[in-house]
Structure 1
């Protein structure tokens, strides 16, 4: 007896999820080989194989699968074209997600994902179980991995910056403090959009060394402050930004960071957390998958609004408004004020 149509549809969902790892692997093959960099014009799989040192027949199988997902476009002549998605895989794109794809396919990420069951069983990071130390501590011992990771964070951070600025009404004057702000791409864009604002970029020495704040539009309106947000944050800011920071940490560490912001801020200042806000159960959202990245690799997690309220209240803050941002990963801006 043939299975009912509903049973086939249900089985298709399960099998599609089961083989999803191969879509990720194929994307990583294309990113590592730099396929998109060679598509200055439409090319065949054989041409691309010659240019990237791949086997032509095997590369074609990878590319046609990616074309079925809208990453590349394959025409009737067997030529492959760039799509808007493929452009993001070019190393010269701005922003580029090539390094992010490579980072997520590094051996330590595959191993951590493969041991997700251990993280669920033990309630602790699979990465730390495998490598014997927390992710960021380990990253400091591997310069090559650190370089790829930081490049991936640049690409992810710079994707949709203008959408973030569009979503929030920054004050006309005052000081914006970007806590753990990396190279300062977001802070630079804020200062360029708001010509009377000043800015402070706080991060470690290696990040500040590569800052991008020094432009004609931001001249004499910014400064750098080296330090750890676990120790202190710059005092006297009007707006404190924590972009892609809080979700990296568990509740205890996240509360400590927020408490430092509360101690440093003016009475009427704002703290902006830019992270996913998990929706009602069962609602499709990028944050659900990202939460499992945090579970397997770091000690952090994605949070619901109620979970954000809990850590904010513990730090002497409360949620004012939540602003959805139409950008990569379905992020929101959580505006917090003094409780």
Structure 2
């Protein structure tokens, strides 16, 4: 075994501590640490004061994260942004702050404790943890639902270049994004194909929040927003239909 290759026990131990890393990243994202450090490097004491948190505990979290490339601690104990930490800012293109907040948040985090239930009984872990299925939960909790929608936008940013580069959408007049969330993928397709129009189709509560994003992306005048339930019907208004990260949620 070479000096560069850690022993299997060390690799496995690092994996077992994965939840510690995820929750530490979540804490930093939820507190908006990256947004604060965008102003200037700051100490844990300054950050604790601005986030109303316990300084020694916050410092322990912030000391951990540089070991995986998130933030850097300087010799004067000030923390500063790194390229990976930039993704936790809320005001940058491709921000991953919302998906970090969703995946580390209580409702999402708790279901992983019920994975054994799924393996033994075949039911969903989230159903066991919360007594309802995910989209029922999101409908019951508007705040969680809105964060989920923003997280899905965050999740789509990274794939847009590959999607528009690998498929020719220019041959279509209208592209309909089924369960397209707030429309970031559809916006990317339309921006790459200026002659194409789009239809954004999702639940009413989701469609209501899509206007600001479509406007900011400069495509609102080319997108028809339609609300509905794809289990009931899908508008016959397009000659191309896109489903991204949808089919995995449902059985045949």
Q: Does 1:67 align with 2:84?
A: no
How far apart in 2 are the matches of 1:214 and 1:172?
Answer: 24
Q: What is the 5 A alignment of 1:324-335?
A: none
- Aligned twin of 1:112: 111
How far apart in 1 are the matches of 2:180 and 2:217?
Answer: 20
Q: Does 1:26 align with 2:27?
A: no
Residue aligned with 1:41, SS: coil
Q: What is the 5 A alignment of 1:175-190?
A: 175-190=174-189
Q: 1:98 to 1:235 in 2, by over 3 A?
A: same
Q: Does 1:206 align with 2:174?
A: no
CA apart distance, 1:116: 0.8
Q: What is the 5 A alignment of 1:32-111?
A: 32-39=30-37, 40-111=39-110
Query: Size of the alignment, in residue pairs?
Result: 245
Q: 1:110 to 1:190 in 2, by over 3 A?
A: closer
> Hey, which of these two has a bigger chunk of helix by percent?
2
Runs of at least 5 residues in structure 1 that lack an aligned partner in the other structure = 253-339
How far apart in 2 are the matches of 1:209 and 1:114?
Answer: 33
How far apart in 2 are the matches of 1:71 and 1:217?
Answer: 32
Greater displacement, 159-168 / 19-28? 159-168
- Aligned twin of 1:269: none
**Cα deviation per residue 1:34-88 (whole Å; 9 max; x = unaligned)?**
1111101111222212211222222222112100100112222222111121112
How far apart in 2 are the matches of 1:63 and 1:200?
Answer: 43
Q: 1:121 to 1:80 in 2, by over 3 A?
A: same
**Cα deviation per residue 1:132-176 (whole Å; 9 max; x = unaligned)?**
221111221112222222222222223442332123222244211
- Aligned twin of 1:295: none
- 8 A Cα contact 1:172 1:196, kept in partner: no
Q: What's the TM-score once normalised by structure 2's chain length?
A: 0.88
Runs of at least 5 residues in structure 2 that lack an aligned partner in the other structure = none
Q: What is the 5 A alignment of 1:151-170?
A: 151-170=150-169
Q: 1:216 to 1:99 in 2, by over 3 A?
A: closer
Greater displacement, 26-35 / 209-218? 209-218
Q: What is the 5 A alignment of 1:1-339?
A: 9-39=7-37, 40-211=39-210, 212-214=213-215, 218=219, 220-235=221-236, 237-250=238-251, 252=252
CA apart distance, 1:219: 6.5
How far apart in 2 are the matches of 1:120 and 1:136?
Answer: 21
Residue aligned with 1:95, SS: coil
Residue aligned with 2:76, SS: coil
> Hey, which of these two has a bigger chunk of strand by percent?
1
How far apart in 1 are the matches of 2:63 and 2:217?
Answer: 46
